[in-house]
Amino acid sequence: MRSFEKSNALIEREKKVAPLAAQTFSKSYRYFMPGAAPMFIDHAEGARVYDVDGNEFIDFICCLGPITLGYNYPAVNKAVMEQLNKGIIFSTQAPVECELAEKLVEVIPCAEMVKFVKNGSDATTAAIRLARAYTGRERVAMCGYHGMHDWSIGASANNKGVPKAVCELTKTFKYNDIASLENLLAAHPGEYAAVIMEPIQSNGTTKEYLQAVIDTAHKHGAVAIFDEVVSGFRYAIGGASEYYGVTPDMASYGKGCANGMSLSFVAGKREIISLIEQGVFVSMTFGGDAISMAGALATIKEMQEKDVMGHAWKLGTMILEGLKERVEKHGVGAAVSVSGLAAHCGVAFDDVGSLNYLDIHSIYAKNMLENGILCQAITNISFSHTEDDVKKFLDAADCAFAEIRKAIDKDSVDGILSEGARVNPVFKRNIK
Ligand SMILES: Cc1ncc(COP(=O)(O)O)c(C=O)c1O
């Protein structure tokens, strides 16, 4: 029986001084089983994390995507330490910035030029500002989650604090439904600056659909942008653009590009990105820190030299097939659906009988943690995960689905979850 005494004490302390006791919503204690999760990590190695109470877990969250090679990964650490010893950031550029920009122009399909920023939200926002400047228009059509800035979060259910006028400029269209995009753009002819989308959602799409999105955007005079913050460096180095073989006008990347260092970038056509030289403001103090760039260069080198993406697809296929088999074996398909392309797959939860999806999610989370697996609904796989780690993940899922079956049969979580023991998300995405 694991103890989480120190983690729990730290949550109580931090809650008093920092909202949600976490800087990233999806890392908040509210996303995890109350009192029974490793909320404070002391250190990590490869695919494993070690919390402040001394518990060990195999981590299938990978920091919500950034860890693509593994924690404390020697080749990246070496590059970062070498740069750290030379200096973190300077009053002008470090040579690694030029080297990395050249490397990205080589590996990212749409990249004729790149601009570095820090978070995925910065990269999508830079793309939208550039598209607005390029077209002289203001409206945005979006499909997916694109970060915390007003233009995108304003169009979601989490839009408190965003001016109405800004909310109204962004409208959403449905994934894999080209008519939905066409209708949106046609409703305001000549007004849409950009069509931005997460190119891979749920079970993915086709090259034809993605090309149709680009063509439809162009037909209406809008710039086509792929938000590859999740898909980049996870399905393929170049993300969906590379995987499906389609090239948007611009694309935003972040998360997985530097194995955990904070770096993101917008890439695209020279005539659009170079507007930064003509009055489009994309600039920040920490935009060119040398250690994150050294980390990115080392990460990409490792991905090119070793079959990092092949590994993610191979282990992901084991997870995808293994989850499907176990859902079938326990007959829990009404409550648990398995989704995603193998390299980034997982489960989603549904209401069944009088159980709601959070009851089902909580039973899953409890069993995974009790079996030494740290995960959320969708898995992230790093190059440090092994087939044995995947077997342990699937054994844990087997226990979880058996308990979900019991709850469905009883139409109750009595005896399975204790009073109040529920995951309680901050916002709904990633859960359902
Ligand atoms: C598809 C997508 N775009 C953009 C973002 C925003 O990235 P960040 O949280 O690094 O600002 C996210 C974050 O989860 C994302 O999933």
pLDDT tens for the chain, 432 residues long, are: 899 999 999 999 999 999 999 999 999 999 999 999 999 999 999 999 999 999 999 999 999 999 999 999 999 999 999 999 999 999 999 999 999 999 999 999 999 999 999 999 999 999 999 999 999 999 999 999 999 999 999 999 999 999 999 999 999 999 999 999 999 999 999 999 999 999 999 999 999 999 999 999 999 999 999 999 999 999 999 999 999 999 999 999 999 999 999 999 999 999 999 999 999 999 999 998 999 999 999 999 999 999 999 999 999 999 999 999 999 999 999 999 999 999 999 999 999 999 999 999 999 999 999 999 999 999 999 999 999 999 999 999 999 999 999 999 999 999 999 988 899 887 754 333
* Beta-bridge partner residues of 143: 197
What's the 359 CA to ligand 1 centre distance in angstroms? 27
Q: How far apart are CA 191 and CA 432, in angstroms?
A: 33
Q: How far apart are CA 420 and CA 432, in angstroms?
A: 20
Q: Residue 146: CB within 6 Å of ligand 1?
A: yes
Q: Would you say 277 and 289 are in contact if contact means Cβ atoms under 8 Å apart?
A: no
Q: Is 46 left (phi over 0), alpha (psi -120 to 50) or beta?
A: left
* 108, two tokens: 């990212």
Q: Residue 254: CB within 6 Å of ligand 1?
A: yes
What's the 264 CA to ligand 1 centre distance in angstroms? 10
Listed in order, the ranges of the chain carrying CATH 3.40.640.10 are 74-305
**131 vs 114, 232, 255, 273, CA distance in Å?**
15, 21, 22, 9
Q: Residue 229: CB within 6 Å of ligand 1?
A: yes
User: Does the pTM of the predicted model rise above 0.75?
Assistant: yes
Task: Report strand pairing: 346-349 vs 336-339.
Answer: antiparallel
Q: How far apart are CA 345 and CA 340, in angstroms?
A: 4
Q: Under 8 Å CB-to-CB from 378, ≥6 apart: which residues? A: 340, 344, 345, 346, 347, 430
Q: Residue 228: CB within 6 Å of ligand 1?
A: no
- DSSP, collapsed to helix, strand or coil, labels residue 267 as strand
Indicate the class that CATH gives domain 5-71+308-410.
alpha beta
Return the closest-CA partner of residue 236 out of 327, 167, 136, 304.
304
pLDDT at 420: 84
CB contact burial 190-208 (16+ within 10 A = b; e otherwise): eebbbbbbbbbbeebbeee
What's the 15 CA to ligand 1 centre distance in angstroms? 24
pLDDT at 423: 92
Q: How far apart are CA 359 and CA 349, in angstroms?
A: 9
Q: Would you say 119 and 257 are in contact if contact means Cβ atoms under 8 Å apart?
A: no
- Which of 118, 230, 253 to mutate to test ligand 1, by most ligand atoms within 8 A of the CB atom? 230
What's the 231 CA to ligand 1 centre distance in angstroms? 10
Give the architecture-level CATH label for domain 74-305: 3-Layer(aba) Sandwich (3.40)
pLDDT at 419: 87
Q: Residue 66: CB within 6 Å of ligand 1?
A: no
Listed in order, the ranges of the chain carrying CATH 3.90.1150.10 are 5-71+308-410
Q: How far apart are CA 102 and CA 84, in angstroms?
A: 22
* 197, two tokens: 């989308």
Torsional sign, CA 209, 224, 228, 376: negative
HSE of 111 in the Cβ direction (CA atoms, 13 Å)?
Answer: 25
pLDDT at 427: 75
Q: Would you say 89 and 289 are in contact if contact means Cβ atoms under 8 Å apart?
A: yes
